[in-house]
Structure 1
Amino acid sequence: MNRRPPPRTLEVLRKQLLTPHMLRVTLGGIGLEGFPEDSNGGYIKLRLAEPIDEAGKPLVRTYTVRHHRPELRELDVDFVVHESEGPAASWAQTCQVGDVIQVGGPGPKKLLDFSADWFLLAGDMSALPAISANIERMPADATGYVLLEIIHEDDRQALDFPPNLQVDWIVNSDPETPNSILLDRVKTLTWLAGRPSVWVAGEFSQSLAIRAFMKSERKVTRDQMYASSYWQIGHTEDSHKVSKAGIQA
């Protein structure tokens, strides 16, 4: 029986504020030796020494590998920073170059079906690293839509979108108030001919609503869609995991 490899001890190499609400922490060092290549878009588990959970164990939080540079032994992890941030984002803001953290994984990438006729990606800033990894793998002639909910106009990132994609950056300055901003925009899209590949992630209620709309109104089948949630308004990550079991597609 295969066993999970032990977590790696990685060092904070540098930090960069990409946009007003997105902070990149670059991890690396000898502990990254042997980390699987082609891991961009996969997930890792950050083991936070402080605080501990109710069982007295260090908190573990899941994040996307934004970039992996094996030749440099470097790994980029992007964190959304905002007013009521969780323990992982707090760690990202307070950690210093030279600090260490244990990292498990990587887990598998959640990718579009690149053989589809067209694509729809929708998500908020928590999903932006995974969406970016998908965009980088898209065929050059890809068509479809990318809907990105950001907190501020300046949170746009310079991504290399295929030219035939329609890209909408949707500003929501108060993402922690229940809303349907992303769903409302999805409903306005002209449905294209052919077989779609749909990828949706972000806040729980929005992802659940978009998933339901795709199934009921657009007749998107399970094999044509990936839908997940990365956080939930008013919930800790641990309580969100209970809700998430009902959204994962």
Structure 2
Amino acid sequence: MANRPVRELEVIRTSRITEHMLRITLGGAAMADYPSNQESAYVKLMFPQAGDKPSQKRSYTIRQQRPMEIDLDFVLHDPLGPASSWAKQAQPGDRIQVGDPGPKKLINHDADWFLLVGDMAALPAISVNLEQLPDDASGHVVIEIPSETEIQTLKAPAGLKFHWEVNPQPDPEGGFLISKVKALPWQAGQPAVWSACEFNSMRQLRHFFKEEHQLPNSHLYLSSYWKLGQSDEGHKQAKKLDNEQSTGE
């Protein structure tokens, strides 16, 4: 973050996408020299705390970008955290400190077929990935949602089959998404996989893709965006420990 400029952006408008997803459009004069072509990159928003406590930082994917505007989609968790609380109360004219975009993480297009897997937190990034795939792309999209009210209409090549998998109660062991992925037919040829989800779900998917199918890192992107029962800080610690253990294996 130290190497990325921080600018104060203004809430332009808000719009409800589904029952639990809210889109916030940010813009303002500080966008005049904003980097272009940043859809799918992440930015860090800084949410003030009471007293002298440092701001809490949260990462969000740029869902759409237009001249002088970016759209960020917020999942309205229950209970609401600092980011979702801010988003739910945001009004046009509100201002927030936002770090400039980090690297984009896109699926490898040099593949015979594609598999994208995630939950609601990953929907903005999955959506951008789908929009940028070749028109003749084929494969599967598996998305875990808490109810059918969260199903969205996403732009994607006709050869991609969507699997909206309803799971009202997340599994602490992270077994739901992996069970749906294992039920899919594994197509011939070289796949490219992009997946982001809950921490324990990510670990199970990682084992499946790396150990059972030996996918090379060039064709596999995996990330955990949150951890069930943990704060953002707890999730960061879990990711750090997991990375150290994975590196040491």
Q: How far 1:152 sits from its partner (Å)?
A: 1.5
Partner of residue 64 from structure 2, selected from 64, 67, 73: 67
Give the conservation status (yes or no) of the 8 Å contact 1:200–1:226.
yes
Give the conservation status (yes or no) of the 8 Å contact 1:127–1:230.
yes
Q: 2:220 is matched with which residue?
A: 225
For 2:210 and 2:80, locate their aligned partners in 1 and report how far apart those are by CA, in whole Å: 32
Q: How far 1:177 sits from its partner (Å)?
A: 5.0
Per-residue CA distance 1:9-29 (angstroms, 9 max, x = gap): 101111111000100011101
Give the conservation status (yes or no) of the 8 Å contact 1:146–1:167.
yes
Matches within 5 A, 1:26-65: 26-50=25-49, 56-65=53-62
Indicate whether 1:151 and 2:156 are aligned: no
Give, as a single letter, the amino acid of the residue that structure 1 aligns with 2:142.
L
Q: 2:23 is matched with which residue?
A: 24
Q: How far 1:157 sits from its partner (Å)?
A: 1.1
Q: How far 1:176 sits from its partner (Å)?
A: 7.0
CA-atom RMSD in angstroms = 1.8
Query: Structure 2: where are the runs of 5+ without partners?
Result: none
For 2:165 and 2:50, locate their aligned partners in 1 and report how far apart those are by CA, in whole Å: 34
Give the conservation status (yes or no) of the 8 Å contact 1:136–1:160.
yes
Q: 1:6 is matched with which residue?
A: 5
Q: 2:82 is matched with which residue?
A: 87
Give the conservation status (yes or no) of the 8 Å contact 2:174–2:204.
no
Matches within 5 A, 1:156-175: 156-175=151-170
Per-residue CA distance 1:126-185 (angstroms, 9 max, x = gap): 000000010010000001110011121021111112111111001112237554211100
Partner of residue 199 from structure 1, selected from 190, 194, 197: 194
Matched residues, percent identical?
45
Query: Structure 1: where are the runs of 5+ without partners?
Result: none
Q: 1:107 is matched with which residue?
A: 102
Q: How many residues align?
A: 243
Normalising by structure 1, report the TM-score: 0.92
Give the conservation status (yes or no) of the 8 Å contact 2:119–2:144.
yes
Matches within 5 A, 1:123-162: 123-162=118-157
Give, as a single letter, the amino acid of the residue that structure 1 aligns with 2:143.
L
For 2:99 and 2:50, locate their aligned partners in 1 and report how far apart those are by CA, in whole Å: 18
